[in-house]
Amino acid sequence: MGRARRVDPDGAARLVGHGDVLVMSVSPVHGGGPTVIGMRAVRLAGPETLDIVVPLAELAETLARALPGRDEPDGAGEVIVPAEHGAGASWAGTSPPRSGWVAIGTVDARTLSARAAAGVAEIVTGSPEGAGAAAVAALRARVWGRPLVDDRPELAGLPAGAAFVAEVLGFVVDDEPAVVYRSGPWWRVTTTRGHVLARRPALG
């Protein structure tokens, strides 16, 4: 949540509880281009049922108070879910499929990191001081909407924004290839640290 907040300060997180599993989702890339969601699941101490959207800022502060000094909590802790619900998180109304995923191939960690770095550099270079918000948003949509890899036809629909989200959320693991899956219009990039789900905008 802290990593997501650094790249999307005004963003939100979706928390979905099913039994003793909590699925946490954030979307550092959305609006105008591909929708790219970072997702992790954690085990709960007891069953909970919820499906809410909360501001990243408030949730990050709540977690910091509940689990001080622990970026990767591996034990039990009590977290009071913020009462304030996130507004304007249109991406949170779209649920990726839970089944039907087919393995397509793998992408190595070096490719993910390099593609993310190249995209960030292009956006920084193309967004000089004074650039309008609309122009920057259009540039981001264009950069992250390009194919993640150019020389593999089976991955032609996987947007580069998946590499950016995997990198900024800390899902890229050295020497561990990420497994790529597909289900309908959705793509999923999975490592031992989490999942990145991506979908290009529907054509009108």
Q: What is the SS3 string spanning 38-107?
A: EEEEEECCCCCCEEEEEEHHHHHHHHHHHCCCCCCCCCCCCCCCCCCCCCCCHHHHCCCCCCCCEEEEEE
Does residue 182 share a domain with residue 122? yes
Does residue 180 share a domain with residue 129? yes
Look at residue 85 and tell me if it is in a domain. yes
d(CA 77, CA 87): 27
d(CA 196, CA 188): 6
How confident is the model at residue 129, as a pLDDT? 78
Please state the length of the chain.
204
Tokens linked to 29: 């890339």
Q: In the listed set 37, 69, 93, which residue is the last one of a domain according to the structure?
A: 93
Does residue 114 share a domain with residue 87? no
Q: In the listed set 44, 60, 93, which residue is the last one of a domain according to the structure?
A: 93
The answer to whether residues 115 and 198 touch, using CB atoms and an 8 Å cutoff, is no
Does residue 61 share a domain with residue 116? no
Does residue 88 share a domain with residue 106? no
- The residue segments making up the domain with residue 141 are 102-199
Does residue 55 share a domain with residue 34? yes
Does residue 59 share a domain with residue 121? no
Look at residue 184 and tell me if it is in a domain. yes
**What is the tens place of the pLDDT at every residue in 84-102?**
566 668 898 888 998 999 9
**Beta strand pairing status for 35-43 and 194-199?**
antiparallel
Look at residue 119 and tell me if it is in a domain. yes
Domain count within the chain: 2
Q: In the listed set 93, 126, 158, which residue is the last one of a domain according to the structure?
A: 93
**What is the tens place of the pLDDT at every residue in 2-40?**
899 999 988 999 999 989 999 999 999 988 889 999 999
Residue whose tokens read 């290839």: 177
**Beta strand pairing status for 35-43 and 12-18?**
unpaired
